[in-house]
Structure 1
Amino acid sequence: MKNSMKIYKLVLLVFLFGGITISCSDDADDKGPTPPVAGERSLVVENFIYRGMNFYYLYKADVPKLADDAFATQAERNNFLDNYSSPEDLFDNGVTASQDKFSWIVDDYVELERLFSGVSKTSGLSYGLVRNCSSCSEIFAYVRLVLPNTSADEEGVERGMIFNRVDGQQLTDTNFSTLLAPDTFTIGLAKLEESNIINLEETFTLTKREYVKNPVFVSKVLEIEGKNVGYIYYDSFTADFDKELNDAFGEFKTANVSDLVLDLRYNGGGSVRTATDMAAMITGQFAGQLFMKEVWNAEYQAHFQSTNPERLLNKFNTTLKTGEVINSLNLGKVYVLTTGRSASASELVINGLDPYIDVVQIGETTTGKFQASVTLYDSQNFGRTNANTTHTYAIQPLVLKSVNSAGVSDYINGLDPDYVISEDYQNLGQLGDPNEPFLKLALDVILGNRISIPESKELFKPVGESGMDQLDYQKMYIDKIPELINK
């Protein structure tokens, strides 16, 4: 086996583990905010942000102003908080560490909660954005996915199509967010001829509407040269769809698949508990053994070690949170398809399984995110119940990092593939088709065929993708907040 291994407004990054308990402990020494003098800022939100980061932030030791003795009085703390123009400014520039790329703040936690349940407003397009040339600002988009029963699906948009105009305007690296923001917009198609972008006359008018996304996008059994090979394209680790994921593995189990290709190429993460359960679906023979260990800031790590060290251990499960029995394949090898967009919980599955089975990674190096966050609300114990009703801010700080059973963590440069292949915008293929380049390579490896990897074409540089501004972009989360500790 191989041993490889701030923030968006309205983005709440959560890394879902299980087994964390909520307690309404009082903070004996925490200084509550004092009433504002007429004409002064109330600093209610700012004090909530500071208090939450002071308790739970993974990198607290790297932010001197978060030290418990940083301020002698509440007035001193308020003077510090008042130096920042907004809650976002404070969070981004005052209380997060320089190495933190993944903590964030939201001003509407209701929207965040809906997204965590798989609910969003979308036209159905999932796309990547690519620069036309190294010295120009023009970009084009290539369609990666079309969600079923959406406007894009109904209008006939397909994976592999390219568009470079929206409402008649050329896409650039500075206008694409604005052009694609309206609820209704028209895309103009184009095609690639070598390194040239040729405009086509065909257009599609698309409309966004509320949509509940099932992340189990493609699941099928391929009968290849006498083998039953399971293939699943999984788009995000959304806990509300754990049953659908388990059902897909149930079909693989019934078909007695000998091999599994797990396609996480666009999966930016999500629930840690779901990732842990997926690992158990792939295996099953390691029930009760350590999948991942949590490492918190020094104060919470010491607290957990002295009161409940088992609390830090996330083990292979046999049931879902609902109690439903996990469908396990008992495999000793899995083939995982990745790109630079594979992040967070996707990487957790790879790293967590690596000490136990042969994880054959095919594609590109992953993002490199091994930390988890949790949603903190403005209440005494930072839970949703009794949250301050004068605002809807919440923060999503990194609170822990994951370490696999072999001690591997801190893969800041991502996880490297065993077989390198990149997507060809002129030949994306269809997900689940045995001739799609990534899947074809995986099948060749499975069957022991001569490996022929298409030559990588470095003609275009990726600049972004759909969903970059969404609350859960490249996030892992836990859903429960630890009890407060006395200071």
Structure 2
Amino acid sequence: MRNFFNIQILAVLFLSVLMISCNRTDDEIPDFPEGSTEAVNVWVQDSIRRYYYWADQMPAKPDYHLPTKDFFKSLLAPQDRFSFIVNTADSSSYPRSVRNMYGFDYTVLQLANGEVVTVIKLVLKNSPAMNAGLERGMVIKKINGVAITASNAEELTAAIPDQTVIQLTVGNWENGSIINEKNITVYYGYSLDQPLMSKIFEQNNKKTAYLYIYDFPDGMTSALNQKFAEFKTEGVQELILDLRYNYGGSVSSSAALCSLIPAGISANSPFIIYKGNKNGGEVKRTFSQQISYDSNALDFSVLHANSLGLNKVYVITSKSTASASEIVINNLKPYLQVIQVGDATLGKDMAGFVVEDRRKPKKITWQMHPVIYKVFNASGEGNYTNGIAPQIQVNEYSALPLRTLGDPDEVLLSSVLHQIYSKSIYNGTQPQDVKVLYQSDSPYIGFSN
């Protein structure tokens, strides 16, 4: 199972998480028997109180008799969409989604004529979905024999993570109808790490690089460095980053990407500001410092040698663009022009690290993933909880079937290439009455890094 909260920020500053509950001084809390649910909940409360961004909003007298997962939720601030807890001894406690179980995602649309169409928007490489024959652009008619409608899409999706095999009736979209219908069986399984995907387009003696980045795992700096070395050798003058389905991941990896793009930065240029509660305070990190939090990362100097030295970058986004990928957008803005195309991002202007029992032997198997910091760029700009809005809003689903990512005629990429080569705002066909009714990843985006 993929890591769910692989932010890994500044954890070195907080190694004192070992036995927080043993240092508790609140005499109003009873001494519950060790190993009881209540004792675990006291540990949860003490731990989260120390690190949680909204610690000052935690209830003074929670109900210690609640099951631990429910107890954790009772401590969270109303505005917190992202903190969660898992039991490492119980795999069923981890967030499950169509994407992390089967390797694909889909969107339910309502067309201009009122017809409801479910399109596959993403199929991961080397995933169960890909191995079963699913492709981006296919249309799903039925899930487990039930036709998808506007009213049952959410219910059908919610049931998928409780299964280990799903039956799909799929087809291809052609001239407003579904053809080549067939039944496909997809089994639950692991999806391998996703490779970077790139292309170089050339027109009027101008070369534009396109780079699709699925996520930001630690250890990706070598792959990024290699891609940008290729771009530099080819004389690339424009860059398009496709982050439309990027849930985020390691901030160190996002910093590495950012070091490869703008002109005029150095190892000591400020990259990010973390603002925590009264215990966490405010921490500033340069490009070099943030990159180095990944012990396997290349040095800033090695990466920056392949920088394209650009004064602007184009970024393709959607509601599935979150966390570290939003940091790329926001934290590049002090150094170059960021032209965002597509839809507004999710709005996860927060970061954190794992809080768990580090005693040896471990006595508590619960693992918390709380919001610990709000994040800001070098200019102190942040607070994008409602998402980062694009300058050029384009509906990815305005033309069906969906084309392969990287296809120059794919709606979002086409709109950026039009902007670059015609030097005018894209105003292609945008049927405003194509409505997104539901997306299979909507309930899970916040629990994926």
What is the TM-score with the length of structure 1 in the denominator? 0.77
Per-residue CA deviation, residues 308-354 of structure 1 (Å, 9 max, x unaligned), is xxxx1121239664352213222111000011111111111111111
Deviation at residue 437 of structure 1 after TM alignment:
1.4
Aligned to 1:415: 388
1:328 aligns with 2:307: yes
| Aligned-partner Cα distance in 2 for 1:198–1:180 | 27
Deviation at residue 361 of structure 1 after TM alignment:
0.6
Paired residue type of 2:164: D
Aligned to 2:143: 166
Paired residue type of 2:376: V
Aligned to 1:183: 164
Task: Go from structure 1 to structure 2 and tell me whether the alpha carbon gap of 1:340 and 1:250 turns closer, same or farther (over 3 Å shift).
Answer: same
Task: Go from structure 1 to structure 2 and tell me whether the alpha carbon gap of 1:349 and 1:440 turns closer, same or farther (over 3 Å shift).
Answer: same
Aligned to 2:38: 43
State the SS of the aligned residue for 2:155. coil
Aligned to 2:53: 58
State the SS of the aligned residue for 2:390. coil
Checking the alignment, whether the CA contact within 8 Å between 1:11 and 1:105 is kept in structure 2 is no
- 1:194-205 alignment runs, 5 A limit: 201-205=181-185
Q: Quick one: which of 74, 91, 97 aligns to 2:77?
A: 97
| Aligned-partner Cα distance in 1 for 2:11–2:118 | 41
- 1:86-125 alignment runs, 5 A limit: 86-93=67-74, 95-108=75-88, 122-124=101-103
Task: Go from structure 1 to structure 2 and tell me whether the alpha carbon gap of 1:423 and 1:234 turns closer, same or farther (over 3 Å shift).
Answer: same
Root-mean-square deviation (Å)? 3.4
Paired residue type of 1:30: R
Which sits farther off after the overlay, 320-329 or 367-376?
Answer: 320-329
Aligned to 2:108: 130
1:247 aligns with 2:226: yes
Checking the alignment, whether the CA contact within 8 Å between 1:294 and 1:403 is kept in structure 2 is yes
User: Any unmatched runs of 5+ in structure 2?
Assistant: none
Aligned to 1:392: 365
Per-residue CA deviation, residues 343-377 of structure 1 (Å, 9 max, x unaligned), is 11111111111111000111111111111121100
1:453 aligns with 2:428: yes
What is the TM-score with the length of structure 2 in the denominator? 0.83
Matched length: 424
Deviation at residue 106 of structure 1 after TM alignment:
1.0
User: Any unmatched runs of 5+ in structure 1?
Assistant: 1-9, 66-76, 305-311, 380-384, 476-487
Checking the alignment, whether the CA contact within 8 Å between 1:239 and 1:274 is kept in structure 2 is yes
| Aligned-partner Cα distance in 2 for 1:387–1:141 | 49
Aligned to 1:479: none
Per-residue CA deviation, residues 153-211 of structure 1 (Å, 9 max, x unaligned), is 344322111103123222322122324643332210256689x8758632222223323
Aligned to 1:484: none
Task: Go from structure 1 to structure 2 and tell me whether the alpha carbon gap of 1:283 and 1:121 turns closer, same or farther (over 3 Å shift).
Answer: same
Task: Go from structure 1 to structure 2 and tell me whether the alpha carbon gap of 1:111 and 1:241 turns closer, same or farther (over 3 Å shift).
Answer: farther
Task: Go from structure 1 to structure 2 and tell me whether the alpha carbon gap of 1:428 and 1:62 turns closer, same or farther (over 3 Å shift).
Answer: same
Checking the alignment, whether the CA contact within 8 Å between 1:129 and 1:464 is kept in structure 2 is yes
Checking the alignment, whether the CA contact within 8 Å between 1:146 and 1:152 is kept in structure 2 is yes
1:230 aligns with 2:209: yes
Task: Go from structure 1 to structure 2 and tell me whether the alpha carbon gap of 1:254 and 1:329 turns closer, same or farther (over 3 Å shift).
Answer: same
Aligned to 2:198: 219
- 1:336-485 alignment runs, 5 A limit: 336-379=315-358, 386=360, 388-389=362-363, 391-424=364-397, 426-450=400-424, 451-466=426-441, 468-469=443-444, 472-473=447-448, 475=449
